[in-house]
Every structure is written in structure tokens, then in C-alpha cells.
């Protein structure tokens, strides 16, 4: 360890001792790490999957007194998962919003919580997430106004279960509800948590459906439905600052296209298309129902489950629509697709002259989820 000690002394003489992660050189290759480095290494092991991130976020929201949690998500190819996590809990004062991502910062001085996931209250959850993801930020939060987080995850570094559309089965065993089947994906993680915290409503789906759902929930509340509507962002921003408005209520404070676009970016960091904003304002996007556990219709025991129910079910479309399965092809009208076909047909005929090729009479198309399939018959030009 002589060389290591010499290096340590050399750095110390240059007044950059703090750059080392070692508190004490114990000799024979052993060292005592600084607390900060030990915490960092521990935090890197706390998060092993996207589902771990979801658990830690909803535990924080539960402890903040949230009654409604909205989790918007979209997957970029198979490389990234973006999460828009919004709750109506106690919120985070602006002066603490950077500090909460540091280790050992917690609001649970005397009431750390032991739950099925372990002890919660060490002040390590957000610190661990920040070390493992490419980006985590508070987009909007104030005391008593809830919180809006944005998380960007590299799926190569932090993987997720491959099939995010499978839904587990709920059964009754000796009068108690239990979850069987499915993979330990995001939806199962949320349902497991909801089973233990029945007072919390969870809404899970694409960003556009999350915004639409927040508007619909506020619209159904007579008191909130009497809030003023704003056509200017500056006036709306001042209203939010002066009033006890939850972040989940902000989307219903305007019917103006430009203001809604600003809300989606400034309050939630959502990149929603112009058409998506229009559909939200025109009420064309169906609101999500809370993820509910139907205890009344749950089978009484596993042996009573028939072969069809035993199969892992897909998430009901009425409850969840993931970005990956948002049926983008359905947004194109048949007439619009025929215009695309006509342009392709004209180009094929133009290029086909030198190959003595033209198109047949039947050009078909099919729409399925995010894919438009064109079937163009070619024939020899006479």
C-alpha cells in the first residue's frame, strides 16, 4: 500500500484530499470508505429495475398523504422509459426541492415506516433513483399543492420486465385478497401496492390520457368545476401561486389550446403533439378509471379458477392505455390513408415506366395499433 499512501499524501499536499473516497487506509489492501462513498455504493444497489423506481416513488407519495397518484409513461423504442409521476400530496417547498435528492434527507424524523418493502424513512429513495437514472426532476411542486416529477430511464442500465401489458389475477384465499400470475411488471407493482393501500387511487396510462383524466376528475367535483378558466398563461400562473390549487387540478383551468400546451410542458414536462392537445380539449380522449381491485368478483380460491382465467390477462383497455399500445394508426382517417396510397401509387407508376411495371387495381390497407400496412399489387405493364 506504499504507492497508495504516497498518492494519498501527494493529493493531500495539493489540497485535493477530498477527491478521495477513502477515509482511512487500513493496510494490506483494506480501506475504510467515507460515509458519502459508502452511501453512494449502497444507493446504486437499491434500484435494480424500473419497477423498483415505481415502488419508491409511490411509497414517497403515500407518506406525503396522497389520495390520487397519476403515473404517465411512454416507451421510446426499447431503449428508454419516460415516467411522469404526479400526486396530490403535501408537496415540496421550493427551497427543499434540490436537497431532497441528497442522501439522508427525509421528512420522517420520528416516524420512519416499516412496510412489506422494508424500512422507509432513511432519506435514500430519491438519492438512489437519481444515481441510477439519466434524469429525475421536480417539474412543479409547492407546499400543500402536490408534486409533478419527470424521470428518464435508460433501459440498458435499468431494465424493466419485457411484457408490460400483462395483468395479474386477484383471488380470495380464506377471505383475503391475493395476487397470482402475471409478471412483476409496472402494473402488477402498482396493484400490489394498492392492495395494501386501498385508500389511494392510482391512474396509469399514456401522458395524454393522464392529462385528460386529471381534467375529468376535477370537472366532476362541483367546487373545482367553478374555478375560472384562463386564456393567458401569465394570469393562470399568478392564480396558481395565490391559491391552494393542487397540481392535479391545473389542467382543468383552461380550455385554451396554447395555455394547455404550456401546462403540459411547464407543469408536467410532457411533449404532447398538437393533435393530442386538441383531443384533450375536445374531450376525445377517454379518461382513465382508477385501478381498482374487484374484491366482490374475485374467485374464492385458486382451485376455482378455470383455464381461461388462469391465463395471464392483458390490461383492460378501459383502465390503461400505454404509449406503446396507444393505437396511433387509428388516428388516421381512412380518407387520409387513401391519399397516402394515391401518392405512393403515382410514384410507383412514375418509376415503373422504366421497369415495365405498374400497380394492380386492388390496393389494400390495414390499421393495427401503431402500424399501417399497405398491400400494393404489382403487375407487368402491357
Instruction: Quote the pLDDT of residue 202.
Output: 95
Rounded Cα gap, residues 330 and 328, in angstroms: 5
- Whole-model pTM over 0.75: no
Domain chopping of the chain, boundaries: 2-33, 44-326, 329-380
Q: In this predicted model, what pLDDT tens digit does every residue of 200-212 receive, in sequence order?
A: 999 999 999 999 9
Among 155, 152, 173, smallest CA distance to 164 is for: 155
| Contact status, residue 211 vs residue 287, Cβ threshold 8 Å | no
Instruction: Quote the pLDDT of residue 6.
Output: 59
Residue 254 pLDDT grade (very low, low, confident, very high; cuts 50, 70, 90):
very high
Instruction: Quote the pLDDT of residue 12.
Output: 55
Residue 8 pLDDT grade (very low, low, confident, very high; cuts 50, 70, 90):
low
| Higher per-residue confidence, 353 vs 252 | 252
Residue 328 pLDDT grade (very low, low, confident, very high; cuts 50, 70, 90):
confident
Residue 125 pLDDT grade (very low, low, confident, very high; cuts 50, 70, 90):
confident
State mean pLDDT over 346-367. 80
Amino acid at each position: 500500500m506504499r504507492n497508495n499512501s504516497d498518492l494519498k499524501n501527494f493529493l493531500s499536499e495539493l489540497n485535493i484530499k477530498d477527491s478521495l473516497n477513502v477515509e482511512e487506509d487500513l493496510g494490506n489492501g483494506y480501506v475504510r470508505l467515507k460515509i458519502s462513498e459508502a452511501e453512494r455504493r449502497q444507493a446504486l444497489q437499491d434500484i435494480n429495475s424500473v419497477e423498483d423506481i415505481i415502488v419508491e416513488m409511490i411509497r414517497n407519495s403515500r407518506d406525503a398523504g396522497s389520495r390520487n397518484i397519476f403515473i404517465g409513461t411512454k416507451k421510446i423504442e426499447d431503449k428508454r422509459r419516460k415516467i411522469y409521476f404526479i400526486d396530490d400530496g403535501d408537496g415540496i417547498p421550493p427551497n427543499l426541492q434540490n436537497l431532497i435528492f441528497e442522501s439522508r434527507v427525509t421528512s420522517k424524523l420520528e416516524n420512519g415506516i416499516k412496510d412489506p418493502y422494508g424500512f422507509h424513512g432513511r432519506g435514500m429513495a430519491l438519492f438512489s433513483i437519481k444515481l441510477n437514472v439519466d434524469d429525475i426532476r421536480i417539474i412543479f411542486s409547492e407546499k400543500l399543492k402536490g408534486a409533478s416529477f419527470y424521470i428518464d430511464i435508460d433501459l440498458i442500465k435499468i431494465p424493466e420486465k419485457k411484457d408490460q401489458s400483462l395483468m395479474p389475477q386477484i383471488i380470495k384465499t380464506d377471505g383475503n385478497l391475493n395476487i397470482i400470475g402475471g409478471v412483476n411488471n409496472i402494473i402488477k407493482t402498482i396493484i400490489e401496492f394498492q392492495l395494501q393501500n386501498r385508500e389511494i387511487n392510482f391512474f396509469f396510462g399514456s401522458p395524454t390520457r393522464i392529462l385528460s383524466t386529471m381534467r375529468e376528475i376535477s370537472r366532476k367535483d362541483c367546487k373545482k368545476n367553478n374555478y375560472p378558466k384562463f386564456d393567458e398563461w401569465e394570469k393562470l400562473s399568478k392564480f396558481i401561486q395565490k391559491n391552494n390549487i393542487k397540481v392535479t387540478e391545473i389542467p382543468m383551468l383552461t380550455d385554451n389550446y396554447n395555455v394547455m400546451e404550456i401546462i403540459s410542458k411547464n407543469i408536467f414536462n410532457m411533449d404532447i403533439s398538437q393533435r393530442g392537445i386538441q383531443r384533450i380539449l375536445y374531450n376525445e380522449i377517454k379518461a382513465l378509471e382508477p385501478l381498482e381491485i374487484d374484491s366482490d368478483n374475485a374467485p374464492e380460491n385458486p382451485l376455482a379458477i378455470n383455464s381461461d382465467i388462469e391465463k395471464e390477462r392483458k390490461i383492460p383497455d378501459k383502465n390503461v392505455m400505454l404509449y406503446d399500445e396507444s393505437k396511433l394508426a387509428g388516428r388516421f382517417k381512412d380518407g387520409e390513408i387513401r391519399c397516402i396510397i394515391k401518392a405512393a401509387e403515382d410514384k410507383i407508376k412514375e418509376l415503373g415506366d422504366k421497369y415495365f411495371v405498374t400497380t394492380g387495381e386492388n390496393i389494400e390497407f390495414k390499421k393495427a395499433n401503431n402500424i399501417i400496412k399497405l398491400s400494393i399489387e404489382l403487375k407487368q405493364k402491357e
